[in-house]
Amino acid sequence: MDIKNNSYFNVVFDGALIDDFKKLVLLGTKRFRYIPFLIRSIKYQRNAVVRRKKNEESGIQVPLVLAISITNKCNLNCVGCYQKSQKITNNSEFTDEEIIRIIRESRDLGSGIVFLLGGEPLMRDIFGLVSEFKDMIFALYTNSLLINDEVIGKFKKNLHILPILSMEGRN
Ligand code: SF4
């Protein structure tokens, strides 16, 4: 199958994030353990497109991506930190229940992908938080410092969570 030019995949993802997903599909053809997740995920994304289109017909614009900042806490203190530049004095964060409810609502409306942002999202038990959403795709933006062998093991068991690493230097 010519994934690069396959219109099915373009429809499934509304053209967004298509390149990353294509890479995942290509990887899945080489690593069999990815295949069940990829099949579930493609089915989910196809249904999400249908839900978004239905909502659009009723005048409700549903974004493909939900971006949610799940914590203000971080184990670093970068000079150019956007989060810290907000000078948030109230330390309150969404509770686990609130985050799960927001993701459920976004799933039911037809969002396909969730960006997990911080602070540093790995300061929370992210694997427990999104365990009921195995069909969705979660892009986890992390400074990577909390990733150890145990966390790598959890990523291997939770293929729906894709770590996106950023390297923060002294400047
Ligand atoms: S790692 Fe990210 S969230 Fe943490 S201080 Fe640096 S820029 Fe801010």
- The reported pLDDT for the residue numbered 3 is 47
What value, to the nearest 5°, has the Cα angle with vertex 152 and ends 146 and 157?
135
For residue 60, pLDDT beyond 80: yes
Q: How far, in Å, is the centroid of ligand 1 from the Cα of 15? A: 30
Task: For residue 163, list its beta bridge partners.
Answer: 140
**What are 86-138's pLDDT values in tens digits?**
777 666 789 999 999 999 999 999 999 999 998 999 999 999 999 999 999 99
pLDDT in tens, 152-168: 999 999 999 999 998 76
User: Given ligand 1 and candidates 72, 75, 83, which is best to mutate, with the most ligand atoms within 8 Å of its CB?
Assistant: 83
Locate the ligand 1 atom nearest the alpha carbon of residue 74 and give its number.
4
Domains, the chain, ranges and CATH? 3-165 (3.30.750.210)
pLDDT for res 81: 87
pLDDT above 50: residue 18: yes
Q: Which residue has the higher pLDDT, 125 or 6?
A: 125
- Give the pocket of ligand 1 (CB within 6 Å): 74, 76-78, 81, 83-84, 118-120, 143, 168
Q: State pTM to two decimals.
A: 0.82
